[in-house]
């Protein structure tokens, strides 16, 4: 018996964030409108379920207003979290905070830290954009912190404390000053 099934199937999942394959060729978020085309079919059911779950995790908060607290990350790490596959934020200290936060890209970036991060990402199969293309000094996205680990199988875990994340996604760039720790950026101008 073959475990491969040919889709299309009807999908509807999430909290009040409904994701369905409206045109039967893509996942579509009914809140932000982002579409992600299905990979070539047929494919294994378990692989398809994993893709579905990843899409739902990423769009789980699209029906909510943006978070109000922000965390400043240095580039290109901020890019790797929001546009890349980096799913763990490594911090030197244990931190109680869990939940949704805005991701701020710090204004400062040295050549040395850029190239160190580029090498680290390349070892994990990820190409970082050129320095000049990385947004800095503003809000670039949001993510949800779900847990804190001192060991984790993710290739992005460095420790000593690795904060797992879901729902990492870009938001329109909004320039603002970053601060240490969790901070509240000024509200969006109407």
Between 26 and 62, whose beta carbon lies closer to Zn ion? 62
Q: How would you label 106-124 residue by residue, b for 16+ Cβ within 10 Å and e otherwise? A: beebeeeebeebbebbeee
Q: Establish if 29 lies at the interface with Zn ion (CB under 5 A).
A: yes
Q: Stretches 46-54, 59-67, 81-89, 94-102: which one binds Zn ion (CB under 5 A)? A: 59-67
Q: Establish if 166 lies at the interface with Zn ion (CB under 5 A).
A: no
How far apart are alpha carbons 172 and 176 in whole angstroms?
13
Asked if 45 and 9 count as a contact pair (C-beta separation under 8 A), the reply is no
Q: Establish if 100 lies at the interface with Zn ion (CB under 5 A).
A: no
Asked if 118 and 128 count as a contact pair (C-beta separation under 8 A), the reply is yes
Q: Stretches 54-62, 90-98, 154-162, 179-187: which one binds Zn ion (CB under 5 A)? A: 54-62
Q: Establish if 62 lies at the interface with Zn ion (CB under 5 A).
A: yes
Q: Stretches 28-36, 71-79, 88-96, 153-161: which one binds Zn ion (CB under 5 A)? A: 28-36
Q: Stretches 8-16, 51-59, 122-130, 155-163: which one binds Zn ion (CB under 5 A)? A: 51-59
In whole angstroms, the minimum distance from the beta carbon of 82 to Zn ion comes to 14
**CB neighbours (10 Å) of residue 31?**
17
Between 59 and 104, whose beta carbon lies closer to Zn ion? 59
Q: Identify the helix (H) or strand (E) that includes residue 144.
A: strand 138-149
Q: By rule CB under 5 A, what count of residues binds Zn ion?
A: 5
Q: Establish if 32 lies at the interface with Zn ion (CB under 5 A).
A: yes
> Among residues 11, 59, 67, 185, which is the contact residue for Zn ion, using CB under 5 A?
59
Between 171 and 176, whose beta carbon lies closer to Zn ion? 171
In whole angstroms, the minimum distance from the beta carbon of 105 to Zn ion comes to 21
The torsion region of residue 54 among left (phi > 0), alpha (psi -120 to 50) and beta comes to alpha
Residues binding Zn ion (CB under 5 A): 29, 31-32, 59, 62
């Amino acid at each position: 018996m073959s475990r491969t099934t040919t889709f299309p199937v009807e999908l509807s999942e999430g909290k009040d964030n409904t994701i369905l394959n409206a045109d039967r060729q893509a996942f579509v978020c009914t809140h932000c409108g982002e579409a992600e085309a299905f990979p070539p079919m047929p494919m294994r059911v378990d692989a398809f379920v994993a893709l579905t779950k990843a899409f739902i995790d990423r769009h789980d908060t699209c029906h909510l207003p943006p978070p109000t607290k922000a965390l400043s990350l240095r580039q290109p790490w901020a890019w790797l979290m929001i546009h890349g596959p980096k799913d763990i934020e490594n911090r030197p200290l244990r931190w109680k905070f869990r939940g949704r936060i805005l991701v701020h890209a710090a204004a400062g970036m040295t050549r040395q830290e850029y190239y160190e991060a580029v090498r680290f990402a390349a070892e994990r199969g990820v190409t970082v954009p050129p320095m000049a293309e990385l947004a800095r000094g503003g809000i670039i996205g949001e993510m949800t912190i779900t847990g804190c680990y001192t060991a984790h199988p993710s290739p992005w875990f460095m420790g000593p404390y690795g904060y797992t994340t879901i729902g990492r996604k870009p938001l329109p760039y909004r320039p603002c000053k970053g601060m240490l720790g969790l901070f509240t950026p000024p509200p969006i101008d109407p």
